[in-house]
Chains A and B, each alone.
Chain A
Amino acid sequence: MNENNILEIKNLSVIYKTDLETVNAVNGIDISIKKKSTFGLVGETGAGKTTTARSIIRLLPAVGHVTGGSIEFEGQDLLTLPAEDMREYRGDKIAMVFQDPMTSLNPVMSVGDQIAETVKIHNPHLSKDEIDKRVEDTLSMVGILPSRKVEYPHQFSGGMKQRVIIAIALACEPGLLIADEPTTALDVTIQAQVLMMIKDLRDRLGTSMLMITHDLGIVAKICDDVGVMYAGEIVESGTVEDIFEGKNHHPYTEGLFGSIPNLKSKAKRLNAIPGLMPDPTNLPKGCVFAERCKYATDICREQHPGVVASGTHTLRCHLFDENGNRKEKKNEQ
């Protein structure tokens, strides 16, 4: 494992298996997160982002199984750890913030107790006073009055609840924070606040972050590296400059950027990418995006594309050669 990386996911595959069907949620992805940096995992709903996140902390539902690959955190393959040991990582070295703040807090416990719980689990030797101080410090850190630690979740607004959840996640100063669409469920005005707070805390504590989102604006603001995920695969990845600038992009990424509404244009309709993601129980044998891709050729439908790289920029697409350059100039208007 590269010393500069805090997390390395290699060739991870995850399925959900019920007695009816098998869902191929994640198919052979690679992600590397550098220390003290933020990796944005972008994609639409159902692409497999949350599954990836849950696989890292090993909180998949009972029907979820990792079928291949490795997830190395600071040199340790998390997938091979016994359950007891994995528990010690959770909350302490790797923390996760889930999507819906309204339901992620236990309604019958005070917020102070919920933060204290994290601290207690991983620092059993601390005295009550020390834990209390920790709780209060954490609350101030996220911009909540420490005296509110005795209050209950229902007494907080949505944005405040999310701050509490972030407080819980950061209470033990984890090395990696996984944030699964932390601002999606919030009002737009609050979103910006919470995002700024996350960014600020990350800088102060030096936490690495895996930020899952479908919002390219968030990616631009706070991520250093990006992975674009589609139908369980990473179709393009690189630094934020690689993805936002430059000319070579996966057609899906093009579509994502193209679908951002432009305030200045006079267009009557939004540009959507036509079609839907393929059925994860029945993935096509060629490229997963071929059906919706306007550049698709026969080889795209027949053969699953491998990954090509140009420096930090990787692409999984038949349109590009081994150096990451466009193969033929047959496309584009």
Chain B
Amino acid sequence: MSENVTAARPSAQEPVKFKKQNQAKEIWRRFRKNRGSMVGLFMLILILLAIIFANVIVKYSAATTQNLSIKLAGPSSEHWFGTDSYGRDLFARVLYGGRTSISIAVLATISSCIVGSTLGAIAGYFGGKVDNLIMRALDIFMSVPDILFTMAVVFALGANFVNLLIALTLAYFTNYVRLVRSQILSLSDLEYIEAAKAGGASSARIILSHIFPNAMGVIIVNTTLNVAKIILYESTLSFLGLGMPPPQPEWGQILAEAREYMRSAPHMLLFPALAIILTACAVNLIGDGMRDAMDPHLKS
């Protein structure tokens, strides 16, 4: 029997392959729809541009040149944020301080992420005694309140960029160890991992190509949010006198100086505080947005 008249037979549709590209595009699209995240992104880009091109906007010397005759002046057309107790231009100090604070925070986040994730991956994947040892050591390490430890380390090694980086990494890597370990523990059980093992994949390959891509989402969100936390932490350290040595400006340090002059010169408190708060808000908005974009639930 001949077949009934049909139109040109439709080609069998390929099930949509969700390649990484498609997934990333989808996440970006959801991120874009979220107004909060876009505001955060916009703010952050502005801040970053201002900081990167700081030397175009105002010279570094303005941040360090003292001029006691105009000390503690309020905002004016010449000194947009006013001056500090040594007559230095506050706007320049905040701008250049941003360079220090943000670059340390970003680098410290990345390094703590790498150190912590590696440790967590090892603990999670190999399990058993290795896992036990790492987690116990971590418990002891975490019993020392991190701020005291950081302070001791910075004090021991001296306050400069690299040492601060080391101290901050030490303070924050523990975050990642637990996180990555639990991701690996929960993902390892899934059947596709067993399938990979059954297919003969080596441990490293399994970790890299199967587990990490899925844990990646959680890691990225956490890392973004950690940047904000480290910015706050770093400024607290410099407030306590453990940041970069003067005259290099840093937000926390500017605020430490502002403390004495709060009554007479509140602008010294206002502007660096705003800088910290706005930057942290921007980063948090982006982090929250990324989290929502990666795990959407239908909104009516």
Contacts and interface: CB of A to CB of B under 8 A. Distances in A.
Direct contact between A and B in the complex (CB less than 8 angstroms)? yes
Interface of A: 16-19, 61-63, 274-276, 291-292, 294-298, 301, 330-333
B13 A275 contact: yes
A275 B299 contact: no
Nearest to A62: B300
A108 to B, nearest CB: 19
B7 interface: yes
Contacts of A296: 4, 6-7
Contacts of A62: 298, 300
B119 to A, nearest CB: 30
A332 B1 contact: yes
A82 to B, nearest CB: 21
Interface string B253-284: 00000000000000000000000000000000
- B interface: dominant SS: loop
Contacts of B145: none
Given A18-B300, A332-B1, A333-B1, 4 more contacts: A294-B6, A297-B4, A297-B5, A301-B7
A300 to B, nearest CB: 10
A331 B3 CA distance: 6
Contacts, number: 43
Contacts of B300: 17-18, 62-63
Interface of B: 1-7, 10, 12-13, 15, 298-300
Contacts of B298: 16, 18, 61-63
A332 B13 CA distance: 24
A275 B12 contact: yes
B10 A275 contact: yes
A26 B2 CA distance: 35
A297 B299 CA distance: 41
A18 B296 CA distance: 12
23 contacts: A16-B298, A17-B300, A18-B298, A61-B298, A62-B298, A63-B298, A63-B299, A274-B12, A275-B10, A275-B13, A276-B13, A276-B15, A295-B6, A296-B4, A296-B7, A297-B5, A297-B6, A301-B7, A330-B1, A330-B5, A331-B1, A331-B4, A332-B1
A83 B3 CA distance: 53
Contacts of B4: 294-297, 330-331
Across the A-B interface, the 8 shortest Cβ-Cβ residue pairs? A274-B12, A62-B300, A330-B4, A63-B300, A63-B298, A295-B4, A276-B13, A331-B4
Nearest to A274: B12
B3 A294 contact: yes
Contacts of A292: 10
B268 to A, nearest CB: 46
A42 B2 CA distance: 31
A107 to B, nearest CB: 16
B1 A291 contact: no
Contacts of A291: 10
Contacts of B1: 330-333
A333 B4 CA distance: 10
A19 B12 contact: no
A136 B91 CA distance: 75
A298 B15 CA distance: 26
Contacts of B5: 297, 330
A331 B10 CA distance: 18
Contacts of A17: 300
A160 to B, nearest CB: 20
A320 to B, nearest CB: 14
Contacts of A294: 3-4, 6
Contacts of A16: 298
A168 to B, nearest CB: 26
A81 to B, nearest CB: 22
Contacts of A275: 10, 12-13
B86 to A, nearest CB: 54
B274 to A, nearest CB: 34
Contacts of A274: 12
B132 to A, nearest CB: 24
A301 B7 CA distance: 10
Contacts of A333: 1
Contacts of A295: 3-4, 6
A17 B298 CA distance: 9
A62 B299 CA distance: 8
B225 to A, nearest CB: 26
B295 to A, nearest CB: 15
A294 B299 CA distance: 40
A18 B10 contact: no
A277 B300 CA distance: 25
Contacts of B7: 296, 298, 301
A270 to B, nearest CB: 14
Nearest to A19: B299
A249 to B, nearest CB: 16
Nearest to A65: B300
Nearest to B30: A20
Contacts of B299: 18-19, 63
Contacts of B10: 275, 291-292
Contacts of A297: 4-6
A63 B296 CA distance: 14
